[in-house]
């Protein structure tokens, strides 16, 4: 395989390193020379760290780096068998990019987008041969995260999903298949982890640090929602929420919050800017959580119930399979267990009770129980056992 990767930001660099490590030749393209030079330094530094940790030999690291060619010239893609873009999350920019690549890449080349929430069909429509287009969504950092979502467009030819599964496994990653719907699997199902946490905080039920404490200590999540949003960056996380909300025709389940929008507008992106929900400046002291177990259990119950409901709805709408959904949430965002397994463990009746209780309190369509959960409860069924 000769792979062309367009965009030398953190995601493009990570994907290039993954593919090069698997023994493939990679052309990493960026129109900005300074960014491209920085990409080379970043890949070298990443490989050096692996050598220092004895996870890679020096010879292997040198071979991986030699597999990557840095270019600003689209014509260098003339021999590529696979081209993936990892540029700014903007539909028009991505469409224009593929119009240009069409002029240089061979007619047999597979085109792919690393978009996290945009329509694969819309991007594919800009291609001369849209049947060769597919969504291939890595998670950040691509060198570490195992999951890759594979999303065919309506134009994608039969068999391409299976071909990409084999290729992705060869890269050492775990592929899952999703329909071309907003947010695919992970960015759709995970929305309540952020949105419901913010809602609880906005209502004054619990503050950021207490919610994060509850979700990690009681819920078993590796990071709490506020710490995770600050880590991802509100310039990324807010935009994904807004994109999913808009793409779902303003379904209130995905409604963004003014609290996060104001952080985004102020440039308080989180760790990368020094301030988000938390203050990351030198010498800043972090507030302590209220370690009230009763409150913490209520927080976990509310957020996890909403996550399970979203997962059930994704299954109800045939967005993905039950095994792929469980894999996506445990490998893509490191949840402590699959959400469908969590539903079985709790009992579906409990999940319904929690969400119905929220609906009785708020009378908002945000808190509507998935029809699949109600049906399964009536039939005394479980997801996995």
CATH of the domain at 249: 1.10.1040.50
Which residue of the set 46, 187, 243, 309 is catalytic?
187
Give the length of the chain. 385
User: Of 149, 196, 301, 310, which is the active-site residue?
Assistant: 149
117, pLDDT greater than 90: no
Q: Single out the residue in 149, 177, 205 at which a domain terminates.
A: 177
Active-site residue flag, 122: no
* Judgement on whether residues 229 and 365 belong to the same structural domain of the protein: yes
User: Stretch 145-151: mean pLDDT, rounded?
Assistant: 97
**Known catalytic residue at 363:** no
- 169 shares its domain with 194: no
Shared domain for 265 and 285, answered yes or no, is yes
First to last CA, the chain: 41
Q: How far, in Å, CA of 52 to CA of 143, rounded?
A: 16
What is the pLDDT, as a whole number, of residue 220?
98
Query: For the whole model, what pTM was predicted?
Result: 0.94
Residues 199 and 157 in one domain: no
Do residues 102 and 199 both lie within one domain?
no
The confidence score (pLDDT) of residue 280 equals: 96
Q: Do both 168 and 232 map to the same domain?
A: no
Which residues constitute the domain of residue 245? 188-378
Give the C-alpha separation, 69 to 36, whole Å. 10
Catalytic residue among 8, 24, 114, 116: 116
Same domain, 342 and 197: yes
With a cut of 80, say whether residue 385 has pLDDT above it: no
Q: Does residue 333 lie in a domain region?
A: yes
Residues 305 and 160 placed together within one structural domain of the fold: no
182 in any annotated domain = no
pLDDT digits (tens, 9 = 90+) for 26-48: 999 999 999 999 999 999 999 99
* pLDDT recorded at residue 234: 96
Q: Does residue 258 lie in a domain region?
A: yes
The number of folded domains in the chain is 2
pLDDT of 9 strictly over 80: yes
Same domain, 149 and 208: no
Residue 262 has pLDDT above 90, yes or no: yes
* Other residues' Cβ atoms within 10 Å of the Cβ of residue 197: 27
CATH of the domain at 10: 3.40.50.720
Sign of CA dihedral 211, 214, 216, 221: negative
Q: Are residues 65 and 201 in the same domain?
A: no
Is residue 225 located within the same domain as residue 360? yes
Per-residue pLDDT band for 229 (boundaries 50, 70, 90) equals: very high
Q: Which residues 6+ apart lie within 8 Å of 355 measured at CB?
A: 305, 306, 309, 367, 368, 369
Do 172 and 203 lie in a common domain?
Answer: no
């Amino acid at each position: 395989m000769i792979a062309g990767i367009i965009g030398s930001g953190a995601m493009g660099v990570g994907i290039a390193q993954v593919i090069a490590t698997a023994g493939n030749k990679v052309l990493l393209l960026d129109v900005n020379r300074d960014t491209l030079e920085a990409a080379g330094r970043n890949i070298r530094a990443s490989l050096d760290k692996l050598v220092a940790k004895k996870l890679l030999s020096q010879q292997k690291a040198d071979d991986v780096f030699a597999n990557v060619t840095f270019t600003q010239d689209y014509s260098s893609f003339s021999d590529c068998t696979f081209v993936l873009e990892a540029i700014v999350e903007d539909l028009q920019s991505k469409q224009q990019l593929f119009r240009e690549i069409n002029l240089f890449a061979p007619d047999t080349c597979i085109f792919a987008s690393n978009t996290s929430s945009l329509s694969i069909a819309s991007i594919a429509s800009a291609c001369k041969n849209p049947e060769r287009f597919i969504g291939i969504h890595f998670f950040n950092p691509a060198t570490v995260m195992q999951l890759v979502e594979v999303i065919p467009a309506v134009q994608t030819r039969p068999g391409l999903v299976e071909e990409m599964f084999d290729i992705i496994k060869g890269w050492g990653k775990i592929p899952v298949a999703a329909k071309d719907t907003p947010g695919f699997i992970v960015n759709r199902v995970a929305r309540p982890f952020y949105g419901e946490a913010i809602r609880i905080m906005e209502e004054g039920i619990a503050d950021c640090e207490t919610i994060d404490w509850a979700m990690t200590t009681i819920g078993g999540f590796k990071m709490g929602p506020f710490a995770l949003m600050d880590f991802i960056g509100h310039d990324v996380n807010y935009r994904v929420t807004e994109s999913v909300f808009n793409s779902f025709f303003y379904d209130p389940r995905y409604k963004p919050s003014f609290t996060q929008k104001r952080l985004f507008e102020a440039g308080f992106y989180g760790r990368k800017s020094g301030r988000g929900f938390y203050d990351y400046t030198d010498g800043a002291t972090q507030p302590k959580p209220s370690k009230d177990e009763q409150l913490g259990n209520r927080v976990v119950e509310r957020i996890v119930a909403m996550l399970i409901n979203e997962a059930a709805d994704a299954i109800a709408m045939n967005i993905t399979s039950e095994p792929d959904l469980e894999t996506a949430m445990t490998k893509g965002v490191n949840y402590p267990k699959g959400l469908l397994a969590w539903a079985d463990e709790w009992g579906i009746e409990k999940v319904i009770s929690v969400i119905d209780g929220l609906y009785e309190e708020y009378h908002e369509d945000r808190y509507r129980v998935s029809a699949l959960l109600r049906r399964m409860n009536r039939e005394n069924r479980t997801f996995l056992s």
